[in-house]
Every structure is written in C-alpha cells, then in structure tokens.
C-alpha cells in the first residue's frame, strides 16, 4: 500500500477518477496491524488493477484526519472518482472486505 500524507492526498485521491480505498490507521492500533499485515496484501492481490489501496497514518496527518472526521481506527474510506461513497470502521476480514468493495464500487 502506498502511504499518503497531507501534502499528496488531494492530487492522488481527489484529482483522479480511479476507484480508491484509503485506510486511516495508527502504528499503536492492533486491528490496524492485522489489516495491514494480513488482510490488505491478499485483497490488493485479488483486486490488482481494479482498485487502488492507500493508507494514511492518522497520528502524522492531523489535517486529513480532522477533515474526514476520523474518530476510530482503522477507518476505510472508499472513493469513486473524487467522491467519498462509503466508509467503515473496525477490523474487517478479507472476504468481507472484498465483497464490500465489489458491492460498493459495482465491480
């Protein structure tokens, strides 16, 4: 996953028409580590070339965390084009995440 920061989020996510999933996480967050180490690598491989996956360290990027109203971690925000179309919080298992992405993005 590519890590985004306050200074490159807009050009990467909001200025394109791609299907993107952004994971707001923190290093101290145990469910975030599970998602990062076990769930996302497999989901990325399965949906490679269809959906882009990014992560934002909520502690290091306060402006983004505040702008998107992140209150719990991990929080996933789905963007279609430059619009937020869905968000979820908490640990999500691999197949549930894949199914949800396919439903929300219509793929």
Q: Which residue has the tokens 């306050």?
A: 6
Distance CA 90, CA 85 (A): 17
Catalytic residues: 29, 32
**Helix/strand/coil for 103:** helix
Burial of 31 (0-12, 13-18, 19+ CB in 10 A): middle
């Amino acid at each position: 996953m590519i890590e985004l920061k306050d200074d490159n989020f807009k050009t990467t996510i909001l200025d394109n028409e791609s299907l993107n999933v952004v994971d707001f996480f923190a290093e101290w967050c145990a469910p975030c580590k599970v998602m990062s180490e076990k769930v996302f690598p497999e989901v990325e491989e399965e949906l490679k070339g269809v959906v882009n996956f990014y992560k934002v360290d909520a502690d290091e990027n306060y402006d983004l965390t505040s702008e998107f109203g992140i209150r719990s971690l991990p929080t996933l925000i789905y963007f279609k084009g430059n619009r937020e179309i869905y968000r979820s919080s908490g640990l999500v298992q691999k197949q549930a995440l894949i199914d949800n992405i396919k439903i929300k993005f219509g793929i």
